[in-house]
Amino acid sequence: MKILTGNDLATGDVIWWSGAAWSRHVEDAADVADQGEAIARAEEGARRVTGAYVIDATQTPDGPRPAHIKDRIRALGPTVRPDLTLKPADPAAGSWVI
């Protein structure tokens, strides 16, 4: 599947296109098929996102998992600071990245 990601223009937060809006959680990411570039252009024009790009991902029971480790780290947070990730209470979250 193809999913769309970028950074919130104002906050810099990593965000994922959920189909109708942006979410901070990759689990919410929607398959954008071949529409990713067009959505990115429209959303960048609306100043809701910056640096948007399309990535490959795999659909899993827990939601989309980005194909590349770089995007998995973006999705969770720095592996060396679990307290700063989106799942600070989940000790297994790091293994999802690796």
Partner 1 sequence: MYKYDEYDQSIVDARVEEFRDQVQRRLAGQLTEDQFKPLRLMNGLYLQLHAYMLRVAVPYGTLNGRQMRLLAHIARTYDRGYGHFTTRQNIQYNWIKLADAPDILAELAKAEMHAIQTSGNCIRNISSDQFAGAAADEVTDPRPWAELLRQWSTFHPEFTYLPRKFKIAVIAADEDRAAMRLHDIGLQITRRDGILGARVFVGGGMGRTPMIAPEIRDFVPADQLLSYLEAALRVYNRYGRRDNIYKARIKILVHEIGADRYRDEVELEFAQVLTLGIDPPAAELARISAMFAPPAFDAVPSVPHELAAHDPDFAIWRTQNVSAHKQPGYAIVTVSLKPIGGIPGDASADQINVMADLAERYSHDELRVTHAQNIVLPHVREADLYAVWQALADAGLAEANLDLISDIIACPGLDYCSLANARSIPLAQKIATRFAPRQQDLGELKLKISGCINACGHHHAGHIGILGVDRKGTENYQLLLGGSGAEDVSLGKITGPGFDEDGIVDAIERVADRYVAERSEGERFLDTYRRIGMQPFKEAIYG
Q: 63-66 and 14-17 as β-strands: parallel, antiparallel, unpaired?
A: unpaired
Shortest approach of partner 1 to residue 69 CB, angstroms? 7
14 and 7 in contact (C-beta within 8 Å)? Answer: yes
Would you give the binding string for partner 1 spanning residues 38-67, x where CB under 8 A is met? ------x--x--xx---------------x
Question: Strand (E) positions, the chain?
Answer: 2-7, 14-17, 22-23, 50-60, 63-66
Shortest approach of partner 1 to residue 53 CB, angstroms? 11
Positions touching partner 1 (CB under 8 A) are 7, 9-14, 44, 47, 50-51, 67-70, 73-74, 77-81, 84
